[in-house]
Structure 1
Amino acid sequence: MTDTDFMRQLAGYGLTTATILYRMPDHRHLLQSYIWQNYDLAPRFPVLHDFLAFWSRELDGPLHSVTVAHARLIRPAEIVNVQGVLTLH
């Protein structure tokens, strides 16, 4: 059985981390942070957009700002052809 996260990485998904700042529902002058992490496709981030749409629709704390970091964990191998021989004593 293959892990679904591994299959998503092979399909081009990368690990996306978003720091979400939102206003407290009862105290609008206070900001709270929330860290969200999932596999997503850069640069459009459809999974993150779906989550933020859910947040805006269902939760009381209005969004203040979102900071996104993304890294593809599986990348093509970098192969360098070396010409020559190195001898160590």
Structure 2
Amino acid sequence: MVDRAFIRQLQGYGLTIAEIHYYRPDAPSLLQLFVWQEYDLAPDFPVLFEFLDHWRSEIDAALHSVRIAHDQLIRPSEWRAVNGVISID
């Protein structure tokens, strides 16, 4: 069984981390932080925006700001198929 995250990376997805700052209605003077991490496609970030749409419709907290960090962990220059066996004695 192959890891879902590894398959996503081979499909061009990279690790995306979002810092989501928000206010709750019961404490409007307190800015809170939620950290979200998932594999997503830059620069459109469809997975992140789907999550933020869910947040706006289902979670009773007002978004203040979102800060995004993204990196493709596997790049064409770093990963290649190798046909051979390496022996370590």
Do the structures match in fold with TM over 0.5? yes
- In structure 1, runs of 5+ residues without a counterpart are 79-89
- Runs of 4 or more, structure 1, over 2 Å off, are none
Give, in whole Å, the separation in 1 of the partners of 2:30 and 2:49: 24
Is the radius of gyration larger for structure 1 or structure 2? 1
TM-score if structure 1 supplies the norm length?
Answer: 0.84
- Name the structure 1 match of 2:5: 5
More strand by share: 2
Q: Secondary structure at the match of 1:28?
A: strand
Equivalent residues in 2 for 1:1-89, closer than 5 Å: 1-77=1-77
With the length of structure 2 as denominator, give the TM-score of the two structures. 0.84
Q: Distance in 2 between matches of 1:45 and 1:18?
A: 11
Across the aligned residues of Structure 1 and Structure 2, the Cα RMSD in angstroms comes to 1.0
User: What are structure 2's unaligned runs of at least 5 residues?
Assistant: 79-89
* Deviation of the 1:69 alpha carbon: 0.2
In structure 2, C-alpha distance between the alignment counterparts of 1:73 and 1:12, rounded to whole Å:
9
